[in-house]
């Protein structure tokens, strides 16, 4: 009983002296050294009248009510060390001011802490605490240089200082203050944060909050390289973070890599095992993080960000595989089928995508969800672009129009445009002339309706209207639409220039057509000039300038050869472009063979046909060019021999 009484008296004495000290700080008074009997480093030996003046919640209020948690934490430091020194008192007072919303006052108090003096002691205390928890490591000293409660109090002061600076818009300084916390811990524990370290205090919470805050501060400070470095350190160093914190950091890092617009350097993974995968760019690193999150998190937005990342780099089948492996509750069936259809469309498997959409739409006919406009439009677009299943495409687009009910004019305009394209394609396969005229009239009506529904002209609609007018030899109207298309695209697409040049050629305006192509060549990159050069060569052939056409074709083949060498090991998007270039190259060899055949240069024509056969042995156009070559050569032989 006597021991308990002594402990109670000692605790009451500590609390009384602590309250007296804090009141002294807030009321601009001083406590004598003899009264508190603290060491030379204690708060009582420092003059707080200047630093604390005017920072209480209300001027002149001396009886400040103290937070019990703050008092208890300070008591713990007093019991362990025998005194509350200058830095610890500032940390406690700064927290009180921060909790009351006096940000500038709190910052002024925090800035009085001598960081250079306390950090070595904090490192030693953390290191020794770790060694004392590890039974295999010898304990250097039973009494650390600073109590772990004091370390927690000071680290919290650094964190609150960073938050105060962030509130005041001083982001660079805030990041440096937050970085001080992590550098201190990392320097004290180079092997990582032990899982069972100081579980009886909130030091882990402070470190976790600092790890999450630092990238945000660097981002606000406009330092993207530091953002990336802080994210990588947060994930590579063992901070003993919980699963939720790790997931948040991984997601924020992935989003920064995808949408920040800053291209990061490849990460240095020296701390990992040899043979580890090293991302080469932002997309690969973001995809890696999102794939990890997809396995460990139920956040539905992850699959949307992953869809964007994999689509950008052309990994459509990888995305399809990830979508197929998702649990049913992660993604709805409708969204799953629609995403898979988009993936197969991107890969070029249009029939597979169409079958997926048919399956979805068939099963949803009797469902309460009648709004399937996106799926219907995608299905009709597949039919229109690939000229397959024309009747089904007409049904899809017509059903989409019937479900609109004036919801969105732009989507309704696209649906009418697709219906017009499909009806136009159907008219070409009809044998009855009267039925053909009727369907063509319906196609024109749908295309014109789509043009009227658009408040601002859409390039896709203008392009299809232009093609329809051109096919029906309404060249003047087609010419106006082609010029409008170039204006809408801002000269960024070569398809408008090629269409305008072909319309001018149909009007026998070959000089003007060649001028249009030359203007397009000046505005396009060398690797995108294939179709333009081929069109220019055809215009030269139409003018009878066969030698000029040969030079144009030769120039194109030279550019293509250099381009193929530069591609090397390209990603899938570039490989798809290279496949398109190879198909174009085959057609150019055929065109060149026809020119040489017209000039009776039989040997050169044979070489061109051989080049084409080496690329594509089963090309129908090569067989056609070969037939022309044989017929003209036989005619030449019979004429002169």
Q: How confident is the model at residue 59 (pLDDT cuts 50, 70, 90)?
A: very low
136 has pLDDT over 50 = no
What is the model's pTM?
Answer: 0.73
Number of Cβ within a 10 Å radius of residue 7: 10
Nearest one of 192, 261, 191, 203 to 227, comparing CA atoms: 261
228 has pLDDT over 90 = yes
Instruction: From residue 228, give the alpha-carbon distance in Å to each of 232, 235, 277, 285.
Output: 6, 11, 18, 11
Nearest one of 379, 343, 339 to 361, comparing CA atoms: 379
Q: Which pair of tokens denotes residue 452?
A: 């009227």
* pLDDT attached to residue 589: 92
Q: How confident is the model at residue 40 (pLDDT cuts 50, 70, 90)?
A: very low
Using DSSP's 3-state secondary structure scheme, residue 267 falls into coil
More confident residue, 432 or 254: 254
Q: Report the CATH superfamily, name and number, of domain 84-129+147-238.
A: Tetratricopeptide repeat domain (1.25.40.10)
Compute the distance between CA of residue 380 and CA of residue 387 in angstroms, rounded to an integer: 10
Angle at 611 between CA 609 and CA 615, to 5 degrees: 115
The residue ranges of every structural domain in the chain are: 84-129+147-238
Q: How confident is the model at residue 419 (pLDDT cuts 50, 70, 90)?
A: very high
With a CB cutoff of 8 Å and minimum separation 6, the contacts of 518 are 536
Compute the distance between CA of residue 594 and CA of residue 588 in angstroms, rounded to an integer: 10
Nearest one of 353, 250, 234, 256 to 295, comparing CA atoms: 250
147 has pLDDT over 50 = yes
DSSP per position, 287-330? HHHHHHHHHH---THHHHHHHHHHHHTT-HHHHHHHHHHS-TTT
271 has pLDDT over 80 = no
Q: Give me the phi and psi of 279, to 5 degrees please.
A: -60, 140
* pLDDT attached to residue 157: 92
Q: Which pair of tokens denotes residue 139?
A: 């304990």
User: To the nearest whole percent, how much of the chain has pLDDT over 90?
Assistant: 40
Residue with tokens 């890969």: 347
Compute the distance between CA of residue 439 and CA of residue 427 in angstroms, rounded to an integer: 6
* pLDDT attached to residue 193: 80
Q: Once rounded to an integer, what is the mean pLDDT over residues 455-461?
A: 83
Q: Once rounded to an integer, what is the mean pLDDT over residues 591-599?
A: 91
DSSP, res 543: T
**239-243, 488-492, 610-614: lowest mean pLDDT where?**
488-492
What sign results for the dihedral spanned by CA atoms 379, 346, 387, 493?
positive
* pLDDT attached to residue 130: 73
Instruction: From residue 346, give the alpha-carbon distance in Å to each of 311, 576, 594.
Output: 8, 10, 35
DSSP per position, 351-395? HHHHHHHHHHHHHTTTSS----HHHHHHHHHHHHHHT-SHHHHHH
**102-111, 144-153, 328-337, 563-572: lowest mean pLDDT where?**
563-572
273 has pLDDT over 80 = no
Contact between 234 and 215 under an 8 Å Cβ cutoff? The reply is: yes
Contact between 605 and 597 under an 8 Å Cβ cutoff? The reply is: yes
Compute the distance between CA of residue 612 and CA of residue 596 in angstroms, rounded to an integer: 14
* pLDDT attached to residue 34: 35
Angle at 154 between CA 149 and CA 160, to 5 degrees: 125
Average pLDDT of the chain, as a whole number: 80
User: To the nearest whole percent, how much of the chain has pLDDT over 70?
Assistant: 78
* pLDDT attached to residue 261: 86
* pLDDT attached to residue 574: 54
Contact between 356 and 384 under an 8 Å Cβ cutoff? The reply is: no
641 has pLDDT over 90 = no
Nearest one of 560, 566, 553, 491 to 522, comparing CA atoms: 491
Residue with tokens 């953390």: 126
Q: Which pair of tokens denotes residue 555?
A: 């120039």
More confident residue, 266 or 18: 266
Compute the distance between CA of residue 520 and CA of residue 637 in angstroms, rounded to an integer: 42
Instruction: Render pLDDT for 526-566 as a digit per residue (tens, 0 to 9).
Output: 767 888 999 999 999 999 999 999 999 999 888 888 877 76
Bridge-partner residues for 85, per DSSP?
42
Nearest one of 335, 329, 306 to 319, comparing CA atoms: 306
Q: Give me the phi and psi of 473, to 5 degrees please.
A: 65, 25
Contact between 615 and 641 under an 8 Å Cβ cutoff? The reply is: no
Contact between 254 and 293 under an 8 Å Cβ cutoff? The reply is: yes
Nearest one of 194, 58, 212, 46 to 134, comparing CA atoms: 194
Compute the distance between CA of residue 596 and CA of residue 603 in angstroms, rounded to an integer: 9
Angle at 33 between CA 32 and CA 38, to 5 degrees: 135
More confident residue, 100 or 14: 100
Instruction: From residue 161, give the alpha-carbon distance in Å to each of 105, 158, 184, 222, 270.
Output: 11, 5, 16, 20, 33
Give the E-state strand segments of 82-149 in sequence order.
Answer: none
Q: How confident is the model at residue 502 (pLDDT cuts 50, 70, 90)?
A: very high
Q: Which pair of tokens denotes residue 343?
A: 């993936």
Nearest one of 373, 471, 372, 380 to 418, comparing CA atoms: 380
Compute the distance between CA of residue 216 and CA of residue 210 in angstroms, rounded to an integer: 10
Instruction: Render pLDDT for 288-300 as a digit per residue (tens, 0 to 9).
Output: 999 999 888 888 8
518 has pLDDT over 80 = yes
79 has pLDDT over 70 = no
Compute the distance between CA of residue 21 and CA of residue 482 in angstroms, rounded to an integer: 84
Q: Once rounded to an integer, what is the mean pLDDT over residues 321-347?
A: 89
Q: Which pair of tokens denotes residue 14?
A: 């500590």
Contact between 450 and 424 under an 8 Å Cβ cutoff? The reply is: no
Instruction: From residue 292, give the alpha-carbon distance in Å to each of 82, 288, 312, 320, 321.
Output: 49, 6, 19, 17, 15
* pLDDT attached to residue 280: 80
Compute the distance between CA of residue 149 and CA of residue 74 in angstroms, rounded to an integer: 8
177 has pLDDT over 50 = yes
Number of Cβ within a 10 Å radius of residue 457: 16
Compute the distance between CA of residue 363 and CA of residue 345 in angstroms, rounded to an integer: 21
């Amino acid at each position: 009983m006597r021991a308990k009484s002594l402990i109670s008296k000692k605790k009451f004495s500590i609390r009384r002296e602590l309250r007296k000290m804090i009141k002294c700080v807030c009321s601009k008074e001083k406590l004598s050294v003899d009264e508190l009997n603290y060491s030379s480093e204690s708060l009582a030996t420092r003059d707080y009248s200047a630093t604390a003046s005017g920072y209480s919640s209300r001027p002149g209020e001396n009886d400040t009510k103290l937070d019990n948690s703050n008092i208890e934490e300070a008591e713990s430091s007093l019991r362990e060390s025998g005194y509350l020194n200058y830095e610890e008192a500032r940390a406690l007072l700064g927290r009180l001011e921060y909790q009351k919303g006096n940000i500038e006052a709190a910052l002024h108090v925090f800035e009085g802490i001598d960081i250079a003096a306390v950090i070595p002691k904090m490192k030693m205390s953390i290191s020794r605490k770790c060694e004392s928890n590890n039974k295999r490591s010898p304990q250097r000293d039973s009494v650390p240089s600073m109590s772990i409660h004091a370390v927690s109090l000071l680290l919290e002061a650094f964190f609150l200082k960073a938050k105060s600076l962030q509130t005041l818009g001083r982001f660079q300084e805030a990041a440096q203050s937050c970085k001080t916390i992590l550098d201190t811990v990392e320097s004290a524990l180079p092997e990582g944060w032990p899982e069972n370290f100081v579980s009886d205090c909130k030091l882990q919470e402070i470190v976790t909050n600092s790890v999450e805050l630092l990238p945000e501060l660097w981002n606000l400070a406009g330092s993207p390289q530091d953002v990336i470095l802080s994210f990588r350190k947060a994930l590579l160093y063992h901070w003993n973070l919980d699963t939720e914190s790790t997931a948040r950091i991984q997601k924020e890092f992935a989003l920064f890599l995808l949408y920040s617009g800053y291209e990061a350097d490849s990460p240095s993974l020296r701390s990992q095992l040899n043979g580890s995968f090293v991302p080469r760019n932002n997309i690969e690193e973001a995809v890696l993080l999102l794939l990890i999150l997809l396995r460990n998190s139920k956040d539905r937005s992850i699959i949307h960000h992953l869809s964007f990342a994999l689509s950008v780099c052309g990994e459509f089948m990888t995305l399809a595989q990830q979508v197929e492996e998702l649990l049913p509750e992660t993604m709805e069936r409708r969204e799953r089928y629609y995403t898979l259809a988009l993936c197969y469309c991107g890969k070029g498997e249009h029939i597979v995508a169409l079958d997926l959409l048919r399956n979805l739409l068939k099963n949803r006919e009797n469902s309460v969800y009648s709004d399937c406009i996106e799926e219907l439009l995608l299905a009709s677009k597949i039919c229109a672009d690939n000229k397959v299943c024309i009747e089904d495409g007409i049904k899809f687009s017509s059903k989409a129009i019937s479900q609109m009910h004036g919801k969105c004019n732009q989507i309704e305009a696209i649906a009418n445009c697709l219906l017009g394209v499909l009806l136009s394609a159907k008219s070409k396969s009809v044998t009855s002339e009267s039925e053909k005229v009727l369907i063509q009239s319906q196609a024109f009506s749908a295309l014109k309706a789509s043009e009227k529904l658009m408040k601002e002209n859409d390039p896709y609609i203008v392009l299809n209207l232009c093609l329809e007018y051109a096919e029906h030899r309404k060249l003047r109207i087609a010419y106006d639409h082609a010029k409008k298309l170039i204006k809408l695209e801002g000269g960024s697409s070569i398809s408008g220039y090629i269409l305008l040049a072909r319309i001018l050629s149909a009007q026998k305006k070959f000089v003007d057509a060649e001028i249009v192509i030359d203007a397009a060549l000046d505005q396009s990159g060398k690797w995108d000039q294939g179709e333009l050069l081929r069109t220019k060569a055809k215009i030269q052939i139409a003018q009878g300038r066969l030698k000029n056409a040969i030079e144009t074709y030769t120039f194109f083949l030279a550019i293509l050869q250099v381009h193929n060498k530069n591609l090397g090991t390209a990603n899938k998007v570039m490989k798809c472009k290279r496949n398109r270039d190879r198909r174009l190259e085959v057609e150019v060899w055929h065109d060149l063979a026809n020119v040489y055949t017209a000039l009776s240069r039989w040997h050169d024509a044979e070489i061109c046909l051989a080049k084409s056969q080496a690329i594509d042995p089963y090309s129908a156009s090569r067989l056609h060019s070969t037939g022309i070559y044989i017929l003209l050569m036989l005619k030449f032989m019979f004429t002169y021999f």
